[in-house]
Structures are given as C-alpha cells and as structure tokens.
Amino acid sequence: MGLTLPLASLEVVMLAGVRIAAFLLIAPPFSHRAIPGQVKAMLAVGLGMLAAPRATEAAGPGLGTSIASGTAQFIGDVLLQVLIGSALGFLVMLVFSAVQAAGNMLDLFGGFQLAAAFDPMSMSNGAQFARLYQLTAIVLLFASDAYQVVIGGLVRSFDALPLGTPLDLAVMAETVTTGVTGMFLAALQVAGPLIAVLFLADVGLGLLTRVAPALNAFALGFPLKILLTVLLGVTAYLALPQVVAALTDTALTDVGRVAR
C-alpha cells in the first residue's frame, strides 16, 4: 500500500510551521522556559497545519515550488520565514516588556534592587517586583485568553505577508523604534505614580534632615521606602489586567503594521 503526499501542501505546512515556531520561541507567553520545547514544537506543527489553507490561498498558485526548484531555494524560503517569525515575535516581546520594565523601576526606586537575582526561566535579571509583574502578566495572558488573540494575529499575518514575500525592513525598523518608545511610556504609566510618591518621600526626608540634623532621617530612608512600595504597589498591581489587555491590542497593531 503506497502513501502519496502532495509536495506543494507539505512545503506550505513546513514553511508555515517554521514561521510559527520562530514566533513562539520569542513572543510571550510561549517563550517562557516553563513551557517545554516539545510542546512548542507540537503547537507549531499543529498551527502550521491549520494555517496552511489560509497561507495557500493568500500566496496564490505560485506557492509550493521551492522543493522542486532545488534545495538552495527551499533553504532560502525557510530562512525567510525564520526572519519573519522572529521579527513578529520580537515586536510582541517588546510590547510586553513594559510590564517587567515597570517592575524594575519599582525595584530600583523602592530599594529592592539590592536583592536582584537571575531568573533562568525567563532568562532575565530582576528583583521581586520585576519577577512578580512578569509572572502575573504571563498568567493573565493565559487566564484571559489573550494568548489566543496573539496567535490569531500571527495566523492573519499569512494574509498580509504571504509565504515567499520578503519582510519590509524599513517598516520593521520604524515599528521597533515606535515600540521602544511605547514600552518606556507604558512602564512609566504603570510605575510613575508610585515613583512620584517615593521621590516625595526622599524630599521629605531631606527637609527633615535639614531642619533637625541630629535625627539622621536618611537612616530611615530604606525601611520607609520599602514600606511605601509594598503598601502602594498594590494599586499598580491591581491595574495589571487592564494594562495587559491594552498591551495585547498594541502588540496586534504592531504585528499588523509590519505584516501589511
């Protein structure tokens, strides 16, 4: 009994799976090391099979000739899909890095940065609030089904950027520049109010030391700022669901801007 596989369809599945796999390795929440590599590989293959009809329809009748044309052309198409998937995943990672950046700001101004440690699961270095905010964002992405929205945006990229179509590097560079600015802006919006309170606490301690130098008010600086960070950090933490929802929309907008 012989089994015949259509070469063109097999190539579409492989190329779509390569783009999705490159995306999953970089984009949160799938890039977290708590998700096994085997799960990411199976997810990439499954999504590649589901996206294959859409990719075939978007690419037109000229798709599926790389294997027949030779190994060099097929390898070139594979590398192109790796580049596109990595670029789209980097944009999503850049957007959601705002949450960890906000936590790093709170750690820095609140005095927790002294306890920074390397996290092998996320391959990042941060203290308590940075890791708390990052893990909470990952949980919210799964709990609110926002990860499905991210995957949906990736699948729609096959319509705007079909297989075999090169990536516009100029648009990519412009989007990355805008994304970096937006990341810092979002981090300041999350951590800004608490940073302002901590700054006013430093000003108050400085005035108190000026009025009564014998009190040595700056000796109370670290305990006071840690107490304020813990008490007032709850307000910023409660805003994370709305922040993650807004960042998801921003990530889809950036992916759509590049894949057009």
What is the sign of the dihedral through the CA atoms of 127, 129, 130 and 136?
A: positive
Per-residue pLDDT of 191-208, as tens digits, reads 888 888 888 888 887 787
Q: Which pLDDT does position 20 carry in this prediction?
A: 92
Give Cβ neighbours of residue 87 (< 8 Å, ≥ 6 apart). Answer: 167, 172, 258
Question: Would you place residue 4 in the very low, low, confident or very high pLDDT band (cuts 50, 70, 90)?
Answer: low
Distance in angstroms (rounded) separating the CA atoms of residues 59 and 241 = 37
Residue type at 201 in one-letter notation:
A
Token pair belonging to 60: 């037109």
Is residue 51 within 8 A of residue 163, CB to CB? The reply is no
Q: What is the mean pLDDT of residues 218-235?
A: 78
Per-residue pLDDT of 66-78, as tens digits, reads 555 667 777 888 8
Round the average pLDDT of the chain to a whole number and report it: 80
Q: Which pLDDT does position 23 carry in this prediction?
A: 92
Nearest to 248 by CA among 146, 126, 114: 146
Q: Which pLDDT does position 63 carry in this prediction?
A: 57
As a whole-number percent, the residues of the chain with pLDDT over 90 amount to 3
Label residue 94 exposed, middle or buried (CB < 10 Å: 0-12, 13-18, 19+): buried
Q: Which pLDDT does position 21 carry in this prediction?
A: 92
Q: Which pLDDT does position 119 carry in this prediction?
A: 65
Nearest to 16 by CA among 61, 58, 62: 58
* pLDDT over 70 at 79, yes or no: yes
Q: Where are the domains of the chain?
A: 7-258
Q: Which pLDDT does position 205 carry in this prediction?
A: 79
Question: Would you place residue 245 in the very low, low, confident or very high pLDDT band (cuts 50, 70, 90)?
Answer: confident
